[in-house]
Structure 1
Amino acid sequence: MTRRIQYKIEEQHNGKCISMFLKEKEYSRAVIIELKKTKTGIQKNGTWAGVNEILNTGDILEICLTEQRSSENIVPKELQLDILYEDEDILVVNKPYDTPIHPSVNNYNNTLANGVVHYYQQQNKPYIFRCINRLDRDTTGVTILTKNLISASILSKRMKERGLSRTYVAFVEGITKEEGTIDLPIGREEGTIIKRKIDEKEGKHAVTHYCKLEELQVEGKAVSVVALQLETGRTHQIRVHMASIGHPLLGDFLYNESNHMLTRQALHAVSCAFYHPITGEYKRITAPLPKDMAMLMQRSSNESCDLVAKL
Structure 2
Amino acid sequence: MALPHTPDSNPIDYIDEEDFIALEIPENVSGERLDKYLGGALPDYSRNRLKAWVEAGAVTVDGKVTKARHLLRGGESIKVFPQEMPEQFAFAPENIPLDVVYEDDTLIVINKPAGLVVHPAAGNWTGTLLNGLLFHYPELKHLPRAGIVHRLDKDTSGLMVVARTDLAQTSLVRQLQERTVGRRYLAWVWGEAPSQGKVLATVGRDQRDRLKMAAGSPQGKPAATLFRRLAKGEFMGAPLALLECRLETGRTHQIRVHLESLGFPLLGDPVYRKRTPGAAKCLPFERQALHAYALSLQHPSTSTVLTWFRLPPQDLHDLLPLIAMSEDDLPKESTLLASLQNDQHQ
2:155 is aligned with 1:142: no
C-alpha deviation, 1:200, in angstroms = 5.1
Does the 8 Å contact 1:181/1:207 carry over to 2?
Answer: yes
Q: Which residue, 206, 210, 213 being the options, matches 2:227?
A: 210
Pairwise mapping of residues 23-38 of structure 1 onto structure 2 (< 5 A)? none
Does the 8 Å contact 1:239/1:249 carry over to 2?
Answer: yes
Does the 8 Å contact 1:270/1:308 carry over to 2?
Answer: no
CA distance in 1, matches of 2:215, 2:125: 32
Residue of structure 2 equivalent to 1:245:
262
2:295 is aligned with 1:272: yes
Residue of structure 2 equivalent to 1:151:
168
Residues 130-173 of structure 1: per-residue CA shift (max 9 Å, x gap): 11221111111001101110100111111101120111110000
The RMSD of aligned alpha carbons is: 2.4
Residue of structure 2 equivalent to 1:114:
131
Report the 3-state secondary structure (helix = DSSP H, G, I; strand = E; otherwise coil) of the residue aligned with 1:308: coil
Does the 8 Å contact 2:230/2:329 carry over to 1?
Answer: no
Report the 3-state secondary structure (helix = DSSP H, G, I; strand = E; otherwise coil) of the residue aligned with 1:208: strand
Residues 232-285 of structure 1: per-residue CA shift (max 9 Å, x gap): 111111111101111110111111165353211111111111111101111001
Report the 3-state secondary structure (helix = DSSP H, G, I; strand = E; otherwise coil) of the residue aligned with 1:193: coil
Does the 8 Å contact 2:195/2:229 carry over to 1?
Answer: yes
Residue of structure 1 equivalent to 2:210:
193
- The amino acid across from 2:103 in the alignment is E
Report the 3-state secondary structure (helix = DSSP H, G, I; strand = E; otherwise coil) of the residue aligned with 2:317: helix
Residue of structure 2 equivalent to 1:45:
none
Report the 3-state secondary structure (helix = DSSP H, G, I; strand = E; otherwise coil) of the residue aligned with 2:331: helix
Give the number of the structure whose alpha-carbon radius of gyration is greater: 1
* Normalised TM-score (structure 1): 0.72
2:301 is aligned with 1:293: no
- The amino acid across from 1:254 in the alignment is V
Residue of structure 1 equivalent to 2:304:
281
Residue of structure 2 equivalent to 1:39:
none
CA distance in 1, matches of 2:108, 2:329: 25
Pairwise mapping of residues 3-152 of structure 1 onto structure 2 (< 5 A)? 73-121=90-138, 128=143, 129-152=146-169
CA distance in 2, matches of 1:191, 1:125: 38
C-alpha deviation, 1:202, in angstroms = 2.9
- The amino acid across from 1:239 in the alignment is R
Aligned length: 243
> Compared with structure 1, are the counterparts of its residues 197 and 87 closer, same or farther at alpha carbon in structure 2 (3 Å cutoff)?
same
CA distance in 1, matches of 2:131, 2:140: 14
2:161 is aligned with 1:161: no
Residues 185-220 of structure 1: per-residue CA shift (max 9 Å, x gap): 222112433201123533321111000011122343
Write 1 or 2 for the structure with the bigger share of helix.
Answer: 2
Report the 3-state secondary structure (helix = DSSP H, G, I; strand = E; otherwise coil) of the residue aligned with 1:205: coil
> Compared with structure 1, are the counterparts of its residues 191 and 300 closer, same or farther at alpha carbon in structure 2 (3 Å cutoff)?
closer
Write 1 or 2 for the structure with the bigger share of strand.
Answer: 1
* Normalised TM-score (structure 2): 0.65
Residues 73-106 of structure 1: per-residue CA shift (max 9 Å, x gap): 5111111211111111000001111111111222
C-alpha deviation, 1:127, in angstroms = 5.7
Does the 8 Å contact 1:218/1:296 carry over to 2?
Answer: no
Q: Which residue, 180, 191, 208 being the options, matches 1:174?
A: 191
CA distance in 2, matches of 1:167, 1:94: 13
- The amino acid across from 2:207 in the alignment is E
2:244 is aligned with 1:227: yes
Of all paired residues, the percent bearing the same amino acid is 32
